[in-house]
Amino acid sequence: MNLFTPLNSESGKNLSGSPKPVEHVRVLILGSGPAGYTAAIYAARANLNPVVYEGIEPGGQLTTTTEVENFPGYPDGVTGTQMMEDLKKQAERFGTDVRFGIATAADLSSMPYRITIDDEKVVETDALIIATGATAKYLGLESENKFKGQGVSACATCDGFFYKGKDVAVVGGGDTAAEEATYLAGLCRKVYLIVRKSYLRASKAMQEKVASTPNIEILFEHTTKEIVGDQSGVNGVILTNTKTGKNVKVDISGFFLAIGHHPNSELFKPWLDTDEVGYIKTLPDSTKTNLPGVFACGDVRDPHYRQAITAAGSGCMAAIDAERYLGERKF
């Protein structure tokens, strides 16, 4: 799911055909996950009067998780939804204007930068902070949605602890899947690595790591037909052998997807440098993009860690980078 998707719109006009109203702000933040809200907290405390548009999923992907236990400051754990509500309240406490709305078009060809919201209005900004995140890729099974947060996860680092001593499955054949499987192997009794092809696409080093981990079993040439469970969550997965066509049920308590993420950057690709997947490139040790006054933070620029705490840290960096930029330009 793309949180900030460009829609077909006639430039300069809203859906009724009349000219779109234009608003000017100093700092515009797109996205309301840990990166976006942290950027807002720092920008607001610097008197930059930030405006945040939450996007189609207020609070970001963290709101789809049940319990968060690895974010500092919550010794008893916290739900993703509650944590994001806390961050929102903190941002608003310092004067952040948090709004519901979806960025539907962008024009970064000249300053001030112009972002169209809900295909109805245009916001001009002196500094733009992009915190639109990256969406995990799913298999498209109905049972995935049914058990999301109840045994289905796209982040082993986030949720692996809940399956300590249990049997789990990881889907994927690349480096990410191999890394997730080896991480889970240190926590779980048994890890099944479900691979559609007859070989792993992971690097040789990662393949050797998987092969040398005794509690990882690779199920080559298998696809996931259905995830099964009950009110308490996942208790198994039905796999199809792609060579024989036969189905087999494997008893598991957790099902982890590791088939990649999709950075929500399409809106900005005509102007910003991205890698081959779509992650926005930033300067080393910075959130600065190739355009002055445009900053990227959180998972939209991070293909490696994808953690709430690292996203929050980069949100802080983006706000400081924006503050220094505006100070130098004397906006």
DSSP 58-99: TTGGGGG-SEE-SSTT-TT-EEHHHHHHHHHHHHHHTT-EEE
Any idea what the Cα angle at residue 144 is, between residues 140 and 149, rounded to 5°?
Answer: 140
From the candidates 159, 299, 302, 321, which is the catalytic residue?
Answer: 159
Q: What is the CATH number of the domain that holds 46?
A: 3.50.50.60
Structure-model confidence comparison of residues 63 and 83, the more confident one: 83
Report yes or no: 178 and 151 within 8 Å, Cβ to Cβ.
no
**At residue 10, does pLDDT exceed 50?**
no
Write out pLDDT tens, residues 220-271: 999 999 999 999 999 999 999 999 999 999 999 999 999 988 999 999 999 9
76 and 95 in one domain? yes
Q: Is 130 a member of any domain?
A: yes
Of the candidates 236, 257, 278, which is a domain's last residue?
A: 257
272 and 124 in one domain? yes
Q: Is 191 a member of any domain?
A: yes
142 and 107 in one domain? no
50 and 116 in one domain? yes
pLDDT of 14: 62
Residues 4-30: what's their mean pLDDT?
71
Phi, psi of 272 (to 5 degrees): -105, 145
CB atoms under 10 Å from CB of 305, counted, come to 13
Instruction: Report the C-alpha gap between 201 and 173 in whole angstroms.
Output: 5
195 and 170 in one domain? yes
Of the candidates 224, 257, 290, which is a domain's last residue?
A: 257
Report yes or no: 307 and 134 within 8 Å, Cβ to Cβ.
no
pTM score of the predicted model: 0.80
245 and 142 in one domain? yes
Is 159 annotated as catalytic?
Answer: yes
Number of domains forming the structure of the chain: 2
Upper half-sphere CA count for residue 22 (Cβ side, 13 Å): 10
Rounded to the nearest integer, the mean pLDDT of the chain is 92
236 and 222 in one domain? yes
Report yes or no: 257 and 269 within 8 Å, Cβ to Cβ.
no
224 and 195 in one domain? yes
pLDDT of 247: 97
Is 158 annotated as catalytic?
Answer: yes
Q: Is 16 a member of any domain?
A: no
From the candidates 119, 155, 188, 302, which is the catalytic residue?
Answer: 155
Quickly state the pLDDT bin for 6 (edges 50, 70, 90): very low
Of the candidates 199, 225, 257, which is a domain's last residue?
A: 257
Q: Is 14 a member of any domain?
A: no
Write out pLDDT tens, residues 118-151: 999 999 999 999 999 998 899 999 999 999 989 9
Quickly state the pLDDT bin for 5 (edges 50, 70, 90): very low
Quickly state the pLDDT bin for 18 (edges 50, 70, 90): low
70 and 122 in one domain? yes
From the candidates 126, 158, 167, 297, which is the catalytic residue?
Answer: 158
Report yes or no: 68 and 80 within 8 Å, Cβ to Cβ.
yes
Q: Containing domain of residue 153, as a range? A: 138-257
Dihedral of the alpha carbons of 86, 91, 93, 94, in degrees to the nearest 10: 160
**At residue 1, does pLDDT exceed 70?**
no
Q: Is 10 a member of any domain?
A: no
First-to-final CA distance of the chain: 36
149 and 252 in one domain? yes
Q: Is 304 a member of any domain?
A: yes
Instruction: Report the C-alpha gap between 266 and 274 in whole angstroms.
Output: 10
120 and 52 in one domain? yes
Residue 168 CA, distance from chain mean position: 23
Q: Is 61 a member of any domain?
A: yes
155 and 129 in one domain? no
Instruction: Report the C-alpha gap between 270 and 290 in whole angstroms.
Output: 12
pLDDT of 317: 98
Q: Is 2 a member of any domain?
A: no
